Structure 1
């Protein structure tokens, strides 16, 4: 399986060299359904459900078990993160944005459910995921490691960030007691980072320790689960644990990350909130890279 992922990254590198993507520029497919904003740091952010385009000649998805809810203002949020990186550091992440509404395509599902079998829509599905592959290939080729974030929005009653590491509520609860760290490490979206540390890191520390990303975001006034302050959602609380994209891309060698489900109030409700959140995210993701990876942060963007 690992050989397959290595081959996918190799193909993406070939595509990258052939197309001549340059950092700081945005590239689109012919219909502008996908935007690939090329970064120059070891961070790739995908935004699969923020689009609003509804081409009338494309049928709405209609097949069993689909979800069509729109992740409002997540594109604006991703671009605010990009702007803060550029302003504060002079470098920036890669952004892969789907501009199509989720009623037409779901870029966080495998291809058949994503398109409901519409052959024409398999083209933009493949294009979008090829751009994620390319962005990851660029970052890992230059830096050796890459953080991957799949950015979403949630409308649950609790106004907090839901960080999805591919572990369900019951598993997070069990992990918080100190059990099954080894088992859940293998299942989690941080397995590449933890295994690569050769015993220096453990999953419980990474999710609910004093230096967990969720803990830092909570201390930055963005309550998060899991975190030291809120290690797991309660049984009657909704929680998104991560989807297709997180599972797919954190299997790639030297890639690790998580899904972020952003709440509305104080994050997506106003333009000023976008930037307040972006500033906290940028500060803490840089701290994360400096603390947990082998990347020399002084050389990022150079």
Structure 2
């Protein structure tokens, strides 16, 4: 039986499988594409194989591991980026193994490579006072200022990801009580988030000022009427962060990144007693385990967890079944 080349599987993976069968988002597909571009670059730089001579055997565990180390050591990639590239290779190997079982042994070598654990950094977020002061920075009397104010207000109120903000269309916002915004997140999953009348009024004022009324039009655009880029959003936020820091340096870190408003909203909801399950749905997390990072990073919330845990423990521990004891221990281990 004639063995197919690596290029055959790569072509099918990107042109048919990822978008059609797996239903992955454009951003995930781009991330996978970048992973393969870097992998091929590594193979050439390391003298392993030229792109024009790629064979299926080239995708083996040794080359994949060498590639991951190269990302960290030669390109200075973070552990998170390294793991993202590995996820792309593993997704490809799963695809190949299903399509051609005879390649399973080769693919299993890559699939057995473990993700690298990264030290967990504390979640960076702003206090309520810091968010309120930041919202005072844009000049709401200019079109650009009202745009920036609307953008910052919406990022905080909705807890949206940067890409969700960039992809937002006018038709995704409902200006009637209750005012809502429909966000499309990872895996093309949509969620409807309520926003305050204040935020809705600011967004309406911006759209009117910018003469944007087409339902299919991007909400946040630059001076060329093109959707803001990720770097554009970062620039705007850091600009106002710099302005706010001049007057209230104690409230702000050295640089504001777009995700900080999402983190801030999550922390403020949690501090006000909102259930983690609701916050998970609000943020669009696939698992509450992801949301739990917010509970673990705040000493006061951790204390509340300990108190809650104490209320679960009675004098007669014998009344708990073995499975209940295990569940309680697992809960404590995750949250304290």
Q: TM-score, normalised by structure 2?
A: 0.23
Q: Higher helix fraction: Structure 1 or Structure 2?
A: 2
Q: Tell which structure's C-alpha radius of gyration is larger.
A: 2
Q: TM-score, normalised by structure 1?
A: 0.24
Q: Higher strand fraction: Structure 1 or Structure 2?
A: 1
Higher relative contact order (CA 8 A, sep 6+): 1
